[in-house]
Amino acid sequence: MDADPFDDFYRDGYARLVAAVGLITGSRAEAEDAVDEAVARAWEQIRRHRPIDSLPAWVRTVALNVARGGIRHRAVERRARQRLLSVEDHGASLERHAAAIDARRALAALPRRQREITVLFYFCDLSVQEIAATLQIDPGTVKSTLHRARAALAQVLGDDTTEEEHDAIDA
């Protein structure tokens, strides 16, 4: 291997992916482990001469699968919601802290799939097509799920969102 794709990944994508998975799982530590596990599996793949087209996309998909917890997914999801609703002060400004708590409360209110899609769309800036590829689902499902997630977010965050806007989102 000449250029090391792992170097590029660590420099450009690692921190953002950990943060994204942390938003989904509610735990940064667990997110780091999920991403690290995915990177370790990628390394094994490459070592066994199984090429990976796009390392960031591959790691993203695997990390989300790992974070989902496999057969333990119900317990994993229950803990994720608990963690999203219980946060500790990290010294940010009051306004920023309040925004963070609001966002985590809103995330906790979303079903797992909606949370994943909304984080990938709004936080990772992925397109609908990229999200569909990451989660290995149909782009139409991504769009409809995103729509439902947005409606739910408007409910949770929308203290200053008018009824008309709710209607527009739901339309």
Partner 1 sequence: MPSMLDDTDLDARWRAGLEAASELGPAATVETRVALHIAKWRRTRVGAGVAALVVIGALIVGVVISFGGTDSTRVRAVERPPGTPIATVAVVSHPDLTLTAVPQTVPAGLIEIDYSTVGGTHALVIDTDHEYNVISGPDFRLTVPRGDSNSAVGRVYLKPGVYRLHCVIPGHEVAGEQVTLTVT
Among 12, 54, 78, 86, binds partner 1 (CB under 8 A): 86
| Binding range to partner 1, per CB under 8 A, among 35-43, 57-65, 128-136 | 35-43
**Whole-number CA gyration radius for the chain:** 17
CB 52 within 8 A of CB 42: yes
Which residues are CB-contacts of 133 (< 8 A; sequence separation ≥ 6)? 57, 61
Cβ 1 to partner 1 shortest distance, Å: 9
CB 34 within 8 A of CB 10: no
- Backbone dihedral region for residue 91 (phi beyond 0: left; psi -120 to 50: alpha; all else: beta): left
Residue 129 within binding range of partner 1, rule CB under 8 A: no
Q: Which residues bind partner 1 (CB under 8 A)?
A: 4, 6-7, 10, 19-20, 22-23, 26-30, 32-33, 36, 39-40, 43, 79, 83, 86-88, 90, 92, 96-97, 99-104, 106-107, 118-119, 122-123, 147, 150, 153-154, 157-158, 161, 164-165, 168-169, 171
